[in-house]
Amino acid sequence: MSILIKNVDILSMDGKKEIIEGTNIYITDSKIEHIGELRTDIDVEKVVDGNNKLAMPGLINAHTHMGMSLLRNYADDLPLFDWLSNKIWPIEANMNPEDIYWGSLLSMVEMIQSGTTTFCDMYIMMDEVGKGAEESGMRAMLTRGMGEDKNDPTFSKLNEARDLYKEWHGKASGRIRTMVAPHAPYTCSNKFLLKTMELAQELNTGIHIHLSETKKEVEDSYNLHGKSPIEHMDDLGLFNHHTLAAHCVHVNDKDIEIMENKNVYPVNNPGSNLKLASGFAPVDKMLKKGIKVSLGTDGASSNNNLNMFEEINLAAIINKAVNLDAVSVPAIKSIEMATVNGAYALDWYDEIGSLEVGKKADIILIDLDKPHLYPRYNLISSIAYSTQGSDVDTVIIDGKVIMEKRIIKTVDVEKVMYMADKQAKSLINR
């Protein structure tokens, strides 16, 4: 299908990082064919009026747990290890495929409505997440989260990750890819981590892992290994693979130097880290070292939403307060974290993360005709400090209109909410 987005302002997030006013975007099939003046030589099947709207790359949620939307507001106001050990892991043990399917679809509806076009999920029963991504039209990086089971000496979860790759990598016209995902150093032995690295090498994929999320995790690592989790993973050879490292909150200068030298991609999760009192990552310091820090929501049970515009805002404003520096993480840097840096983190920058000719047409249109977006002194500031997820009017993924005028076209939203609520109540009663 060919689409023209006519007379629209653009923040392309290419090299210039500036607003282009009143231009046009041509989409042919899944890709952007032209940005600029109107063309008479391109046949158009659909015209989208871009007046009073801003086009920008779809947001990239680089770390989340989709099925956890069923546990939204289920266990709050608890520290991470208490929250995980006493609330989350016990109830997750009772989850079934239907829970994951409807919970993941609920997450996808929420993300589409707030402008996210790509997500990286670490969870269980990932076939169900793949089905949801295929149906909803979203772009997805699927990673089967693997904590080590001491009663499973054959490491059968590795076979699940291998099967996930075989079934889903490259599926849905290339919208779906996979990575290997050991949960964290504190849930995986060195032997198990080495096995995950062998699998990543076999499949030629990256690794997705939680690192240095809490002070306790770091202290335990020093007590057990005599070094930080990041030093430990470096010595083990994990960073010889493309590594997406969620959180990286409690990192020192040596850790940052390792991440810089080994091209590790940290994912900042400000909302979740604040709510779980995990702390706040030294994002400004990492960005100034040239590290491509991306942005994620974490799961809806620890956030408690999947609104990436909220994370953009938090990433910018909290750094300023923590550093007592009003120029820490300026607006454009927080937007980079949610777009181009997310694309690099997912090893997908050749296709997504910016609006450029030849790249995939993953585009969102923000309705600028809102009281909280007037006056329009600086639209880049508006995105970081004023825009709400509900301001997203249109979502295009892989050249297909997924949402238009706030109406999602790929899934029945009412049914998804009904079924997710039904599954959540069933899960609690099991």
Round to whole Å and give the CA distance between 75 and 59: 27
Q: What is the pLDDT of residue 80?
A: 81
Neighbours of 350 (CB within 10 A): 10
Question: Is residue 421 in a domain?
Answer: no
Which of 248, 301, 293, 275 is CA-nearest to residue 60?
293
Asked whether the beta carbons of 50 and 8 are under 8 A apart, the reply is yes
Which of 361, 354, 292 is CA-nearest to residue 12?
354
298 and 381, same domain (yes or no): no
Q: What is the pLDDT of residue 385?
A: 98
Question: Is residue 430 in a domain?
Answer: no
Helix (H, G, I), strand (E, B) or coil at 55: strand
253 and 365, same domain (yes or no): no
Question: Is residue 329 in a domain?
Answer: yes
Residue 394: CA count within 13 A, CB half-sphere: 24
Which tokens in the block code for residue 216?
């306790």
Q: What is the pLDDT of residue 79?
A: 82
Round to whole Å and give the CA distance between 124 and 101: 11
| 393: containing domain | 2-57+355-407
CATH value at residue 201: 3.20.20.140
Domain count, the chain: 2
196 and 294, same domain (yes or no): yes
Neighbours of 359 (CB within 10 A): 21
Question: Is residue 419 in a domain?
Answer: no
23 and 82, same domain (yes or no): no
Residues 222, 224, 226, 227, CA torsion sign: negative
Neighbours of 378 (CB within 10 A): 13
- Please identify, among 319, 345, 371, the residue that sits at the C-terminal boundary of a domain: 345
266 and 243, same domain (yes or no): yes
Return phi, psi of residue 102, to 5°: -75, -35
* Cis-peptide, bond into residue 375, ω within 30° of zero: yes
The residues facing 32 across adjacent strands are 27
Q: What is the pLDDT of residue 153?
A: 74
Question: Is residue 414 in a domain?
Answer: no
- Please identify, among 311, 345, 379, the residue that sits at the C-terminal boundary of a domain: 345
* Cis-peptide, bond into residue 61, ω within 30° of zero: no
- Please identify, among 325, 345, 365, the residue that sits at the C-terminal boundary of a domain: 345
50 and 121, same domain (yes or no): no
CATH value at residue 398: 2.30.40.10
52 and 90, same domain (yes or no): no
Round to whole Å and give the CA distance between 370 and 289: 37
167 and 261, same domain (yes or no): yes
319 and 205, same domain (yes or no): yes
* H helix or E strand, kind and range, residue 247: strand 243-247
DSSP per-residue string spanning 325-370: -TTSS-HHHHHHHHTHHHHHHTT-TTTSSS--TTSB--EEEEE--S
Q: What is the pLDDT of residue 236?
A: 98
Q: What is the pLDDT of residue 75?
A: 87
Question: Is residue 93 in a domain?
Answer: yes
Q: Amino acid letter at 308? A: M
Question: Is residue 212 in a domain?
Answer: yes
pLDDT in tens, the chain (430 residues): 899 999 999 999 998 889 999 999 999 999 999 999 999 999 999 999 999 999 999 999 999 999 999 999 998 888 888 888 898 889 999 999 999 999 999 999 999 999 999 999 999 999 999 999 999 999 999 999 999 988 887 788 999 999 999 999 999 999 999 999 999 999 999 999 999 999 999 999 999 999 999 999 999 999 999 999 999 999 999 999 999 999 999 999 999 999 999 999 999 999 999 999 999 999 999 999 999 999 999 999 999 999 999 999 999 999 999 999 999 999 999 999 999 999 999 999 999 999 999 999 999 999 999 999 999 999 999 999 999 999 999 999 999 999 999 999 999 999 999 999 999 999 988 8
314 and 363, same domain (yes or no): no
Residue that is written with structure tokens 């590594």 in the block: 243
Per-residue b or e along 146-170, where b marks 16 or more CB atoms closer than 10 Å to that residue's CB: bebeeeeeebebbebbbebbeebbe
316 and 277, same domain (yes or no): yes
215 and 194, same domain (yes or no): yes
Q: Amino acid letter at 245? A: A
Question: Is residue 294 in a domain?
Answer: yes
DSSP per-residue string spanning 92-155: HTT--HHHHHHHHHHHHHHHHHTTEEEEEEEES-HHHHHHHHHHHT-EEEEEEEE---TT-TT-
Round to whole Å and give the CA distance between 153 and 218: 27
DSSP per-residue string spanning 156-191: HHHHHHHHHHHHHTTTTTTTEEEEEEE--TTTS-HH
Return phi, psi of residue 54, to 5°: -120, 125
